[in-house]
Structure 1
Amino acid sequence: MRNSLAPIVWLAGSCLGMLANAATIDVSIDLAADRHPLKREIFGVSGAPDLGAVAYPLLRWGGNSTTRYNWQADVHNTASDWFFMNIPDGNGTPSGSSVEALLESTLAAGSQPLLTLSTIGWTPKAVQQKRWGYSVVKYGPQLVTECSYFGSNPPAWCTADAGNGSCNPAQNQTGYCGANGLIVGNDPLDTADPATPQTQTAWMAHLQQRFGTAASGGVRYYALDNEPMLWNSTHRDVHPQPLTYDEIWQRTVAYAGAIKAQDPDARVFGPVTWGYCDLFGSAADNCLDGSDRAAHGGIPFVKWYLQQVCAYQAQHGVRLVDYLDLHYYPQGDGVVDFSDPPNGSETATVSARRLRSLKELYDPTWQSESWLADLGSASPWYYSHPQLIRRARAWIDEACPGTGLAITEYNWGADNGASSAIAHAEALAIFAREGVDVAARWVAPAAGSLVERAFRLYLDFDGQGGRVEGDSVRATSTNVDALGAYAFHASGSRVMVVLINKATTANAAAIDFGTTLAGNWQLYQFSGSSNLALASSGNVNGTSLVTANLPARSASLLVLPDSDRIFVDGFDQP
């Protein structure tokens, strides 16, 4: 960091007064170093946003309720999220389902859906009526029912017989209340019927008839269920036993094999982890390490899973899993708070912790400021230092080269938090720099929210469809805690620099491009108090310049001409 501004020409003279006490942070760009393509599908989300408003390139249909979905009857099960209940949707036919409407609108918009296919072996009964997994009448008193959840004034539509599956062993009137305080021995047939891989490929065949195959513009991406290592809690009414290494691989062979047979051009995502623990161990290990992992050579689960993928391909000539699919939420207190939407916690302490927690994605020296630190930093796994993306990339390179990397659930804070918005903007830049292939935020940010601005910065920075594109290239900030810097090069077109001012004061960036750039530039910007807009513009002719207007807690995009562009009148339109 330096404070002398004399050698540099300011880009925006009107901001000099504001920056009298601002620091200038050096940023260096190397257009030839660390080049790799920016994958558009890292800007994906889950849910059903208006693609006409923001052109998210990927929409994930996922979550707990997709594990049990009957595509023929259009019925889903809410699992532990809401009393293990079957809920009818639409008009009870595939063509009238909201799922297929989402697929249709997504494909029509030129985006790609990521469709979750169930592998749990159960599907909701094909009847258009509510059913629930833990009947009070059948299994005895339970701690909460759908009606008691609402207190003394339950709504007329609630079901008093629908329990949450938790009980008091002292009230074990029916013999179903286990010593652990959970209903045991319930009948999965209360809500579900057995399902097979052919149940899912029959849906694929139907979708191929309606939308075409993967190669002809239909659905291309399929995920192997949702967070199976949590089934013994989220879906314990039908799968009470914790999943093991071997069971999840057996299901992968059966279901992914069937998917590839149905559509060889389909791309499969697995194993769809739920978080940090099942990177290293199975549900049977109860986080990180245990007898199941010991029985598999002490190899972390995800690395072992990758080994099986490539071993199967070598033996059978079929690549069962194309993308390693991980979910990740930073665990620091208050960083992700779904209990207080849409604003979340924006205290000074939480905001600073939220922005620092982005280092969990890539920095091998960073120790998580959460319970992960309690796991220890002993060799060889250094649990307290997540470095999620680099760890996953190393495992791919060692165990199954050529596998793509997907982070299909993540979140860095509430939709309308100022630090949350720039944290998401930086997370997207980190995904690009670190070589993530596909990503989807949980869930799509609300229309007009601050976090939506973070996505617009990359997908529609000028309101006219301007996108960040090209190759990710090296960008280095001398103070990453204050200013994050990321660069992209669209050869023959433009250079783009993303600047994330994480400081609580305004800053400036002195940028060295390592090559001569000449022509007009634009600086687009948003903060917690300002919408995404053109903040300033001007002309550059040289190897360096200073951005003089980086407000506190803001994200900016500097768009410049490429050094090898053939200049013509009107070039300044990005």
Structure 2
Amino acid sequence: MRSRLLKVTVMSALLAAAAVPMTGPAQADTGPRLTVDPAAGRHPISPYIYGMNFTDEGLAAELRLPVRRWGGNATTRYHYLYDTTNRASDWFFENISEENDHPENLPKGSSTDEFVDQDRRTGTSSILTVPLIGWAPKARDGSCGFSVTKYGPQQRTDEWRPDCGNGVKPDGTNITGNDPHDTSVEVGPQYIKDWLRHLTRTYGTAARGGVKFYNLDNEPDIWHSTHRDVHPLGASAAELRDQAYKIAAAVKTADPGAQTLGPVGWGWTSWDYSGLDQETCSRTGCWGDPPDRAARDGLPFTAWYLREMKKYQDTYRKRILDYFDMHFYPQAPGVAFGNGNDPATNALRLRSTRALWDPAYTDESWIGTQVRLIPRMKDLITAQYPGTKTAITEYNWGALDSMNGALTQADILGIFGREGLDLATLWSPPSAAQPGAYAFRMYLNYDGAGSRFGDVSVSSASADQGALAVYGARRTRDGALTLMVVNKSATDLTSPVSIAGARRGTAAAYQYSAASPSAIVRAADQPIATGGTFTRTFPAGSVTLLVVPRSVV
């Protein structure tokens, strides 16, 4: 998606923590009942749901981050031989070379090599993006797609490189008919094979510790917007299928153990519409009868895409798509990439995580329907291409510099595990000092010694998930039962908790809240009565982890 990460200071993070109103010593309200059954609803939690895009090394090492993605608009057009990306509509359609002290050694030491190097140091699996668009920078140069000298005056130009324009004429119309060769050269399957040959020679194959995952481009259904200097028309369903066939097959030829993820649609409209549909209907309003529908036998784009990927496997006895990957950003104003300063938006942010799973929730944006994103993905896979895994390689609910964002992120990670998502990578990850990072710490390093949330989801329920959410998981390593409780409300809640089959004993407790926004606190242990019952007060706007030892449950 967007190529620039959010930047906030630690001070702004601490100030934003006040956006979740907290009660003082007032008496707690009666909270909803929480019930956990460690013997029911069991399924593995994939470690890859706790991933990020472009995480800094310190945080990745601390969390032992499971997976990290090199993605975004610029990665659609990257040439590994020149270590150069085209920044497309993000920055004046310019070729920009990555900093490199020894460009004469390329492709050794490229920015993608450095990305993988970091991941190897932190024990993280890498996702790299491979191009389907058919174009990559022509050289390690500073050329741009819409030269003012060549194509005339434009509404905006790069202040540092004034010959590079935004491709929009002074009258507001787009420049058309420009030459893609101004910036780029054609690339295809052989380019992919050559790049992966370099990667496997440098790092080994995926099966031997090399790059494990490859995204089949980035949001190709909006190339006509983001990369219109080389792809001004919307990509048809047939184009996206045929390019996926060629490029995914090239990946599998070069490294048979590598895993591919596609179609990597930008968001909600990507489910039903191809790029050709989106580009045409955004101009003409033809959403009820999009031009590409007949070519898909009347199917929504994603259903058709999965069907076509299965056809390939049926024909060639070879799977070339491993993960069904779709991006998702909440569309209500102020939520994704927003701050934690507005109480109404904060409440909506916490509510809107229901779009990930809840069939009773109508999305409160222009989407205006029941999204139930993860179950929807699974239903579509069951219907069209069984055995495919699920991925969301870009998402962001915003306000990661505030307690509101941390609560939301903690809730999202719990949902991912409970709903059985296979892989997720947060776009614009928090800095190590921001509250959003503590949401990840609660699952990946809650005690500062590397202890993690459980890896086998178990049945857990709240009488009011919107106020007090609970997620349970058994930890294979030591048999402990871990319970993550997120108090989304502005009041302390005292709730009865019951754990089926538990004996008398004690659970350790860890807590993150606005009372201590720069640390996870070891809270008071929780006594558990015979029969597995107890009552606990969960502070307003807090995340509490209870670790019940195997001897108790």
Instruction: Determine which of 485, 491, 499 is the counterpart of 2:470.
Output: 485
Instruction: Determine which of 266, 270, 273 is the counterpart of 1:278.
Output: 270
Alignment of 1:493-512 (within 5 A): 493-512=479-498
Alignment of 1:493-532 (within 5 A): 493-530=479-516, 531-532=519-520
- Counterpart residue number, 2:199: 207
Cα distance in 2 for residues equivalent to 1:364 and 1:254? 37
Instruction: Determine which of 17, 29, 40 is the counterpart of 1:22.
Output: 29
Instruction: Determine which of 330, 341, 344 is the counterpart of 1:346.
Output: 341
Q: What's the CA shift for 1:529?
A: 4.0
Tell me: CA distance 1:65–1:87, structure 2 relative to 1, closer, same or farther (3 Å).
Answer: same
- Counterpart residue number, 2:295: 295
Alignment of 1:69-468 (within 5 A): 69-91=78-100, 92=103, 93-127=106-140, 129-147=141-159, 158-169=160-171, 181-286=173-278, 290-337=290-337, 344-373=339-368, 384-468=369-453
The one-letter amino acid paired with 2:257 is: D
- Counterpart residue number, 2:9: none
Q: What's the CA shift for 1:223?
A: 0.7
> Which whole-Å deviations, capped at 9, do the CAs of 1:146-183 have from their partners, x for residues lacking one?
12xxxxxxxxxx011110011134xxxxxxxxxx7101
The one-letter amino acid paired with 1:80 is: S
Asked if the contact 1:48/1:102 (under 8 Å) is kept, the reply is: no
Cα distance in 2 for residues equivalent to 1:200 and 1:430? 35
Tell me: CA distance 1:313–1:563, structure 2 relative to 1, closer, same or farther (3 Å).
Answer: farther
Q: Which runs of 5+ in 2 are unaligned?
A: 1-22, 282-286
Q: What's the CA shift for 1:198?
A: 1.1
Cα distance in 2 for residues equivalent to 1:32 and 1:303? 35
Q: What's the CA shift for 1:53?
A: 2.8
Cα distance in 2 for residues equivalent to 1:85 and 1:547? 60
Asked if the contact 1:337/1:345 (under 8 Å) is kept, the reply is: no
Cα distance in 2 for residues equivalent to 1:515 and 1:246? 54
Cα distance in 2 for residues equivalent to 1:17 and 1:239? 57
Asked if the contact 1:368/1:385 (under 8 Å) is kept, the reply is: yes
The one-letter amino acid paired with 1:66 is: T
- Counterpart residue number, 2:544: 556
TM-score normalised by L of structure 2: 0.90
- Counterpart residue number, 1:341: none
Cα distance in 1 for residues equivalent to 2:69 and 2:239? 25
Q: What's the CA shift for 1:538?
A: 4.2
Q: Secondary structure at the match of 2:119?
A: helix
Q: What's the CA shift for 1:37?
A: 0.1
The one-letter amino acid paired with 1:326 is: M
Cα distance in 1 for residues equivalent to 2:295 and 2:382? 23
Q: Which runs of 5+ in 1 are unaligned?
A: 1-15, 148-157, 170-179, 339-343, 374-383, 566-574
Cα distance in 1 for residues equivalent to 2:449 and 2:128? 29
Asked if the contact 1:417/1:528 (under 8 Å) is kept, the reply is: no
Q: What's the CA shift for 1:564?
A: 7.4
The one-letter amino acid paired with 1:270 is: G
Cα distance in 2 for residues equivalent to 1:517 and 1:314? 52
Cα distance in 1 for residues equivalent to 2:62 and 2:374? 30
> Which whole-Å deviations, capped at 9, do the CAs of 1:318-376 have from their partners, x for residues lacking one?
101000011000111211135xxxxx143110011001100111111211111111xxx
Cα distance in 1 for residues equivalent to 2:170 and 2:514? 47
Cα distance in 2 for residues equivalent to 1:547 and 1:318? 54
Asked if the contact 2:87/2:96 (under 8 Å) is kept, the reply is: yes
Alignment of 1:538-549 (within 5 A): 538-546=526-534, 548-549=536-537
Asked if the contact 1:29/1:514 (under 8 Å) is kept, the reply is: yes
TM-score normalised by L of structure 1: 0.87
Asked if the contact 2:85/2:97 (under 8 Å) is kept, the reply is: yes
Q: Secondary structure at the match of 1:159?
A: coil
Asked if the contact 2:31/2:468 (under 8 Å) is kept, the reply is: no
Q: Secondary structure at the match of 1:291?
A: coil
Which structure is richer in relative contact order (CA contacts within 8 A, separation 6 or more)?
2
Q: Secondary structure at the match of 2:393?
A: strand
Tell me: CA distance 1:21–1:519, structure 2 relative to 1, closer, same or farther (3 Å).
Answer: closer
The one-letter amino acid paired with 2:135 is: W
The one-letter amino acid paired with 1:316 is: Y
Give % identity.
Answer: 39
Cα distance in 2 for residues equivalent to 1:104 and 1:406? 24
Q: What's the CA shift for 1:466?
A: 0.4
Asked if the contact 2:497/2:536 (under 8 Å) is kept, the reply is: no
Asked if the contact 2:36/2:472 (under 8 Å) is kept, the reply is: yes
Tell me: CA distance 1:58–1:215, structure 2 relative to 1, closer, same or farther (3 Å).
Answer: same
> Which whole-Å deviations, capped at 9, do the CAs of 1:238-275 have from their partners, x for residues lacking one?
01110111100000110001111111111110111100
